Chains A and B, each alone.
Chain A
Amino acid sequence: MKLVNPSNKRKYKILVVGTGLAGASAAASLGELGYNVESFCYQDSPRRAHSIAAQGGINAAKNYPNDGDSILRLYYDTIKGGDFRSREADVWRLAQVSNEIIDQCVAQGVPLARDYAGYLDTRSFGGAQVSRTFYARGQTGQQLLLGAYSALSRQIRLKTVKLFPRTEMLDLILIDGEAKGITIRDLVTGEIRVHVGDAVLLCTGGYANVFNLSTNARGCSVTAIWKAYRKGAFFANPCFTQIHPTCIPQAGDYQSKLTLMSESLRNDGRIWVPKNKGDKRAPNDIPEDDRDYYLERKYPSFGNLAPRDISSRAAKEVCDDGRGVGPGGRGVYLDCRDSIKRLGEHVIRERYGNLFEMYERITGEDGYKVPMRIYPASHYTMGGLWVDYNLMSNIPGLFVLGEANFSVHGANRLGASALMQGLADGYFVIPYTVANYLASSKPGKAKEDHAECKKSIEDVKAHTKKLLLINGKVTPAEFMRKLGNVTWNNIGMARSKESLTEALAKIPEIREEFWKNLKVSGTELEVNQQLENAGRTIDFIEFAELLCRDALNRDESCGAHFRVEHQFPDGEAKRNDENFSYVAAWGFKGDGVPPELHKEPLEFNLIKPAVRSYK
């Protein structure tokens, strides 16, 4: 690994897009090292990035509880949780640096939960049999993000980092094949301008909103990584999307988002549905014998803590079976009654008080008295831009961090591992690996008046104009709803050749209608949220086609990718290692031309892929 001399670092400018855990920690750490950093976010403040909404916790192999945890075990659980579709070396490194993250956060003054002796407390999460999840009430993401945000704020004060809030990246600029700049739209003035640098870091999160309704913030989009894909960056495993089992069910078509409740609730909540179809009794009137605690029944050793994909599909199964509860029969009970009896309501209140409050605010029901209703929702995306071990994409100088890349979670991410990865990438990976690239690149090569920069501005302006000039009848929100209907029903929790083929026919129709019948109000040179939504919507529509293609190509079930054709008699995902033990990295070949598939074979040296069993 090459290094950059300390006195030369300030000559290099690094553009960091996104200020979530990955982006804020990267920008802060690179600023500390002396690089000249520019940081961009679409929100009004870096503190609002969607990492803030992560509730449950962050994993680390500290082994503080003395329960047999180790780097090897965290590595093993992550690989197994990802159903042997992640890159081994990257996962090993993640497990290795996990402990340093906790040290770093405590030093920053992040108030992680402590026991009465004053030491850090941990809890268990799905897919692990040790207690390795550190937490800060139900707001772990918020506290870790505020830690990274405070480190970033310090660098802004020290002028190593320059912040550009309310800006959205709309293009990636390549000069001689290397990533040297971005084109952004200032979301307040509408100005479209170029920022050039010596490397570009995309820390722009995932694409769960491709399902329209998801637990992501409304502003979360695929746009930044999609624009990079269109400039040649490979998109890896887009079909690996995670559905979170414990969300509040949808109430109506007008709904704008789904709210997640931390799966840590599954530590003290038991999940059940009535044994009999059409049992309309109030939940508390249904006696024990008429309840089916289906997770405990099917997965006795993991029970209610079975991994997310398994829990989600099990919920879908019982609802498909006609035993779902609540509006439309799309819901299952999460019942804390027994824990309240065992531990007392005050203990449950202390552990999950904010979640119960949130539930009551949305549904008007008291979860301490009546079991909560939950249903799976799109939540996180394991796929993302392809990166090498150094987090660099196939475009030199373009690095991708956090949820935006594909590398460590394979086909399914374990709970409390997203926060770990975001901070690992930003604090402890990129500071080392970016130097390796910069050391062999002359600083300040890119200039704003370069022909590529001018062209990029013209392209973005033309795209914006095009969106505004259609003047049809359908709003961006309506197009997202149309897209969501196709993606959720055909590419959601379960996929088949038929459903995917159908989606591949429907999505281009939506795209064509979009360009004929879109309605965007207002003009480009002002705050225009409809214009923002329109741009994100068309990127999602284009991207959905790639997602679908990838899901169709991956003719196996693995982790969260469930092809109904490939399952064991008991409904478990059936992998096909012989043919699909690879990363599918798709390369853009032009509009209307099928993307090119590149395969990176996966090799496992430390463990042998086995059937993932949580029984």
Chain B
Amino acid sequence: MSGHSEEKTKTLNLIVWRQAGPDKPGRFETYIAKNITDHHSFLEMLDVVNEELIKEGKEPIVFDHDCREGICGVCSQVINGVPHGGHERTTVCQLHMRLFKDGDTIYIEPWRARAFPIIKDLMVDRGALDRIIQAGGYTSVHTGGTPDANAIPIPRPDAEYAMDAAECIGCGACVAACPNGSAMLFLGAKVSQFAALPQGQVEAAERVANMLKEMQDCGFGNCSNHYECQAACPKGISVKFIARLNREYLKSLF
């Protein structure tokens, strides 16, 4: 657009993890991103690089992306060693290039965790998070025959607490950030959401036990109180939900 045409552009040095498949060896490759403005999003910068690679007859970099507005949770890149790039409450797709300087070198890697096998380049398989939800991340209510929505008042602070937990977008940054590859922030958020609501009480004990077991079966580690998950979470999910998870688990034993 005309307003930005005279704008100064940046050139960036990208060092990107390339891996042809789950069992193939991976390596870092260097690319130059040219003509990038403050207004490019991080993924738009990668789009520009990919278009050039295609034209040169090379393989574009594979990365997951979809909504590009920070809510679908599919984008998953470790940027300069930090999942989502380390800006508060910001997913990769919401990073803008005004955060980088001309000439910067940027390292881009996929999520790394035992439970998230690499599919290709920066794309990983996060099916394990779905399996944790399948183990109990719900109330066992059928469609239809439910009471009026206002039948059970829920104190506002409880509803807000549940909503704080429910903001999780399931991106898996918490796992990628954790030295133990633990999914306890993800799990804690879901367990806490239901623990705060009357609808979640009926199956509370069963839920936490089943979900924790699934988490272990999927190959995730346990929490070791590094709090890296909270720092990396693009939705600001608090580690207090891990404490709540532990409490709910203890309660479930009695």
- Please list the residues of chain A having a beta carbon within 8 angstroms of any beta carbon in chain B: 25, 28-29, 32, 43-48, 50, 52-53, 62, 64, 100, 102-120, 136-137, 139, 142-143, 146, 149-151, 153-154, 156-157, 163, 165, 188, 215, 217-219, 250-257, 259-260, 326-328, 330, 357-358, 361-362, 364, 427-428, 431, 473, 475, 477-478, 519, 521-522, 526-527, 529-530
Shortest distance from the beta carbon of A156 to any chain B beta carbon, whole Å: 5
With CB as the reference atom, state the residue of chain B lying closest to A147: B138
Answer whether A527 and B123 are a contact pair too, CB < 8 Å, given A52-B72, A137-B163, A256-B41: yes
Asked whether, in the complex, the Cβ of A120 is within 8 Å of the Cβ of B60, the reply is no
Shortest distance from the beta carbon of B116 to any chain A beta carbon, whole Å: 11
With CB as the reference atom, state the residue of chain B lying closest to A115: B156
* Among candidates B4, B67, B160, B162, residue contacting A50 with C-beta atoms closer than 8 Å: B67
Asked whether, in the complex, the Cβ of A254 is within 8 Å of the Cβ of B69, the reply is no
With CB as the reference atom, state the residue of chain B lying closest to A102: B149
CA distance A251 to B134 in the complex (A): 41
| Stretch from B102-110, B166-174, B220-228, B246-254 at the A interface | B166-174
Within 8 A of A (CB), among B52-74: 53-55, 57-60, 62, 64-74
With CB as the reference atom, state the residue of chain A lying closest to B58: A521
Interface size class of B (residues with CB under 8 A): 35 or more
* Interface membership of chain B positions 22-60, coded 1 if the CB is closer than 8 angstroms to chain A and 0 otherwise: 000000000000000111110110011001011101111
Asked whether, in the complex, the Cβ of B1 is within 8 Å of the Cβ of A250, the reply is yes
Contacts of A157 in B (CB 8 A): 134-135
21 CB-based A-B contacts, threshold 8 Å: A29-B143, A45-B130, A48-B73, A48-B74, A107-B139, A109-B162, A109-B197, A112-B159, A119-B150, A120-B150, A143-B163, A146-B166, A151-B143, A250-B1, A251-B1, A251-B39, A252-B4, A361-B96, A428-B143, A477-B51, A527-B120
Asked whether, in the complex, the Cβ of A252 is within 8 Å of the Cβ of B67, the reply is no
With CB as the reference atom, state the residue of chain B lying closest to A261: B69
* Among candidates B20, B65, B120, B162, residue contacting A111 with C-beta atoms closer than 8 Å: B162
Q: Does B133 sit at the interface, judged by CB under 8 A? A: yes
Answer whether A109 and B139 are a contact pair too, CB < 8 Å, given A100-B144, A256-B41, A477-B51: yes
Asked whether, in the complex, the Cβ of A522 is within 8 Å of the Cβ of B59, the reply is yes
Shortest distance from the beta carbon of B202 to any chain A beta carbon, whole Å: 11
Asked whether, in the complex, the Cβ of A327 is within 8 Å of the Cβ of B73, the reply is no
Shortest distance from the beta carbon of A525 to any chain B beta carbon, whole Å: 11
With CB as the reference atom, state the residue of chain B lying closest to A529: B62
Asked whether, in the complex, the Cβ of A521 is within 8 Å of the Cβ of B57, the reply is yes
CA distance A28 to B156 in the complex (A): 29
Asked whether, in the complex, the Cβ of B119 is within 8 Å of the Cβ of A111, the reply is no
Answer whether A257 and B3 are a contact pair too, CB < 8 Å, given A103-B147, A115-B156, A188-B119: no
Contacts of B162 in A (CB 8 A): 109, 111
Asked whether, in the complex, the Cβ of A53 is within 8 Å of the Cβ of B69, the reply is yes
Answer whether A475 and B170 are a contact pair too, CB < 8 Å, given A118-B155, A154-B140: no
- List the count of A-B residue pairs having beta carbons below 8 Å apart: 230
- Please list the residues of chain B having a beta carbon within 8 angstroms of any beta carbon in chain A: 1-4, 20-21, 37-41, 43-44, 47-48, 51, 53-55, 57-60, 62, 64-74, 89-90, 94, 96, 98, 119-120, 123, 125-127, 129-130, 133-135, 137-144, 146-150, 153-156, 159-160, 162-163, 166-167, 169-170, 193-194, 197, 199-200
Asked whether, in the complex, the Cβ of B64 is within 8 Å of the Cβ of A326, the reply is no
With CB as the reference atom, state the residue of chain A lying closest to B147: A103
Asked whether, in the complex, the Cβ of A111 is within 8 Å of the Cβ of B38, the reply is no
With CB as the reference atom, state the residue of chain A lying closest to B87: A361
With CB as the reference atom, state the residue of chain A lying closest to B163: A111
CA distance A252 to B1 in the complex (A): 5
Asked whether, in the complex, the Cβ of B69 is within 8 Å of the Cβ of A256, the reply is no
Asked whether, in the complex, the Cβ of B149 is within 8 Å of the Cβ of A120, the reply is yes
CA distance A103 to B167 in the complex (A): 21
Asked whether, in the complex, the Cβ of B59 is within 8 Å of the Cβ of A521, the reply is yes
* Among candidates A52, A115, A149, A218, residue contacting B133 with C-beta atoms closer than 8 Å: A149
Greatest chain A CB density within 10 A among B96, B143, B148 is at B143
Contacts of B170 in A (CB 8 A): 45, 47-48
Contacts of B38 in A (CB 8 A): 364
Answer whether A48 and B66 are a contact pair too, CB < 8 Å, given A139-B71, A153-B130, A327-B4: yes
Asked whether, in the complex, the Cβ of B40 is within 8 Å of the Cβ of A254, the reply is yes
CA distance A225 to B54 in the complex (A): 29
